[in-house]
Structure 1
Amino acid sequence: MLVDTHTNLMWYPEHFSDEFVRFALEAKRAKMRMTPDVYFAGSEQQQQNAFDSRPDQLLAATQECDRVVVFGIKARYSGIVADQPLIAEFVRNNQPKFIGWCSVEPNDPGCVEELEYYVTQLGFRGLKVSPIYQNWDPGDPRHIRLFRKAEELGIPVNIHQGTTFVRNAPLKYANPVLLEDIAVACPDLKMIIS
């Protein structure tokens, strides 16, 4: 069985800000090494969109997969706001192949309730967050309640701890040791550090 555990459903301009796209294009021009799934559409002079993953593109790219985990991060700080209900609808229309994971912003006061809604009402089966894209400190005890809710709901959490080309991203939050308090407070939580 072939399972792709990390795909996105989001595109420019609906889900990416102009600034995010500009940072991505500058990284390409600087010849930053990027994974094969990163591409830029448009002519050499008019490249507008980066990291585009529209429904038809995602379906085509994952034809050979048996199962596909799909999400789109909500990270206003970095200029990314993926449409969670759109992802849920895409998953519903393409079951059982696609497995939807949601994203919430840990700094939002209503993030716990939002997570519960996404899982219980929209059918999401995992959570995607990113300290560097969303500008939140994993060592801040205020965030433990979100991870306790994920643990209670029995869903895994993918935490993006890698680097990025986004210039204002606080890389100090990318240190995996900062996740220790979450792991200790939520011993049964399944965490994927990506």
Structure 2
Amino acid sequence: MNLLFDCHTHLVEPHHISGHFLADAKKAWGESFRLSSTPEEHRKANEGCTGAIVLALDAPAVGFNVPNEWVAQYTAENPTRLFGFASVDPNRDSPERLLEAAVKELHLKGLKLAPIYQDFHPLDRICYPLYAKAQELKLPIMWHQGTSFVHKGPLEKSRPVYLDPVARSFPDLKMIIAHMGHPWMGETISVVRKNPNVFTDISALASRPWQMYNALVEAVEYGIEDKLLFGTDFPFFTVERTVESLRNINLAVDGTNLPRVPERVIEKILHKNTPELLGLV
């Protein structure tokens, strides 16, 4: 049975991006940079999957603003396949109330946080009521806890290890560390291993096969293969490209004595009931 579920996708149109994010994206990828994932494009890209998590983003600090309402309107079309995650900037007044409204009024199913884009430290005590509300409402949190090309993004607030105290303070709170926390994959693996409700996804690693290979080998060595989730970071990467990169992960070490990523691990990533694992259904 096909259980391929994309746990990391974006619904975003060009007008959702401005300021530092847009300027730095053009520096990184050229002046022709244009980010687009309309409902029609997202629907088509996800045809081969059983469903997807669709992320909002409330990041005025860098100019990346995808409204909760827009994500909610789209995911409401197919609520058994599409799971919208709200985003609330912890710097806003009473962010926990905004989150509760996004759940009760918009029927969103999770929370997206990104310290490097929202400019907050995960261990700042002002954030703890937001985490408590997410745990109370049984909402998983998707964290962008890793690097970015955005010049003003604070790397010192984006280390995966800072999520360990959060996980210990809120043991029933399910959390996903996106992109295996690259380039700090070892930190991510350490946090995931010791905290039962923390997971990580492989999204955005399709263009870095050597990085993904090393991360997956380390994940196997530390015994977290059951907590690795499939994700693409669409529209940055597609399902097809991510699956191909994953299935070809061992090509770089063919003919060497370097360890291989076991086929069982690849198949587990591709055939995992992620909605059930995260408590979305």
TM-score, normalised relative to structure 1: 0.86
**Aligned ranges 1:28-107 → 2 under 5 Å:** 28-29=29-30, 47=32, 49=34, 51-107=35-91
Deviation of 1:18 (Å)? 4.6
Gap regions ≥5 residues in structure 1: 30-45
Equivalent runs, 1:9-28 vs 2, <5 Å: 9-13=11-15, 15-28=16-29
Shift in alpha-carbon separation, 1:18–1:144, aligned structure 2, 3 A: closer
Q: Give yes or no for the alignment of 1:118 onto 2:118.
A: no
Match of 1:37 in 2: none
TM-superposed deviation, 1:132: 0.6
What is the distance in 2 between the residues matched to 1:19 and 1:133? 10
Q: How far off its partner does 1:78 sit?
A: 1.1
Correspondence for 2:259: none
- Between stretches 165-174 and 88-97, larger displacement belongs to 88-97
Question: How far apart in 2 are the matches of 1:192 and 1:69?
Answer: 12
The whole-number CA distance in structure 2 between the counterparts of 1:160 and 1:19 is 17
In the TM superposition, what is the alpha-carbon distance from 1:193 to its structure 2 partner?
1.1
- The answer on whether the counterparts of 1:138 and 1:182 sit within 8 Å (CA) in structure 2 is yes
128-137 or 85-94: bigger deviation: 85-94
SS in 1 for 2:87: coil
Deviations 1:132-187 (A, max 9, x none): 11000112111111001000001110111121111100000111122233222211
> Residues 10 and 83 of structure 1 are in contact (CA less than 8 Å); yes or no, is this contact kept in structure 2?
no
In structure 1, what residue type is equivalent to 2:11? L
- CA RMSD in angstroms comes to 1.4
- Say whether the 8 Å CA contact 1:144–1:185 is kept in structure 2: no
Superposition misfits of 4+ residues, deviation over 3 angstroms: none
The structure where helix makes up a greater share of residues is 2
Q: Using the TM superposition, give the Cα deviation of residue 48 of structure 1 relative to its aligned residue in structure 2, in angstroms.
A: 5.0
Seen in structure 2, the aligned counterparts of structure 1 residues 11 and 144 have a Cα distance that, compared at 3 Å, is same
Identical aligned residues as a percent: 35
Q: C-alpha separation between the residues in 2 aligned to 1:145 and 1:79?
A: 25
Over alpha carbons, which structure has the higher Rg? 2
For residue 41 of structure 1, what is the aligned residue in structure 2?
none
Give the whole-Å Cα distance in 1 for the aligned partners of 2:19 and 2:143. 25
Residues 16 and 81, structure 1, Cα contact 8 Å, conserved in 2: yes
Report if aligned partners of 1:105, 1:111 keep a CA contact under 8 Å in 2: yes
Look up the equivalent residue of 1:129 and give its one-letter code: L
The equivalent residue for 2:117 is: 133
Please, which runs of 5 or more residues in structure 2 have no aligned partner? 179-281
Distance change in 2, residues 1:190/1:183 (3 Å): same
Pairs aligned (count): 176
